[in-house]
């Protein structure tokens, strides 16, 4: 994992966690050791077990899973956030992007393959 400042890190469920990855995700976000985060969670669970149990399950359901590939740009982060919120909307967004690219390529092909396209002039430039 690359080093990030706390301001640039986001809270994710870790993919390498023991149970749902909540403790590891919180520990990585806060910059704590995962062992002590788990010890604290177990200590609180021992004294207030029903409440922390429900909070832990709720956190596991609400926290986004950690991205498989580290996000390198704001655009990647935005897409990942939109994907985790609504996969259908993210797929529609990708489809619109690729449809726009396909239309551009078709326009370029139609220009280049037109009979009146002056290849001699273009190649000599």
pLDDT along the chain (125 residues), means of 10: 51 79 86 88 80 81 77 78 76 88 92 74 72
Q: What is the pLDDT of residue 106?
A: 92
Q: What is the pLDDT of residue 8?
A: 56
- Axis-axis angle for helices 87-112, 74-85 (nearest 10): 130
What span, in angstroms and rounded, lies between the C-alpha atoms of 117 and 77?
Answer: 43
What span, in angstroms and rounded, lies between the C-alpha atoms of 57 and 41?
Answer: 13
Q: What residues contact 15, with CB distance under 8 A and at least 6 apart?
A: 21, 65, 66, 68
Q: What is the pLDDT of residue 101?
A: 95
Could you count the other beta carbons within 10 Å of the beta carbon of residue 26? 22
Three-point CA angle 45, 66, 73, nearest 5°:
145
DSSP letter at 64 equals P
Tokens (6 digits) for 31:
């910059």
pTM equals 0.51
């Amino acid at each position: 994992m690359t080093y990030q400042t706390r301001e640039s890190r986001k809270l994710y469920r870790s993919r390498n966690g023991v149970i749902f990855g909540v403790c590891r995700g919180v520990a990585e976000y806060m910059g704590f050791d995962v062992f002590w985060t788990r010890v604290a969670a177990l200590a609180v669970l021992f004294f207030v077990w029903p409440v922390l149990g429900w909070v832990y399950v709720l956190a596991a359901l609400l926290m986004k899973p950690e991205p498989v590939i580290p996000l390198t740009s704001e655009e990647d982060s935005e897409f990942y956030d939109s994907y985790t919120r609504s996969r259908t909307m993210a797929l529609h967004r990708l489809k619109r992007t690729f449809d726009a690219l396909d239309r551009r390529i078709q326009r370029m092909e139609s220009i280049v393959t037109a009979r009146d396209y002056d290849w001699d002039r273009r190649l000599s430039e």
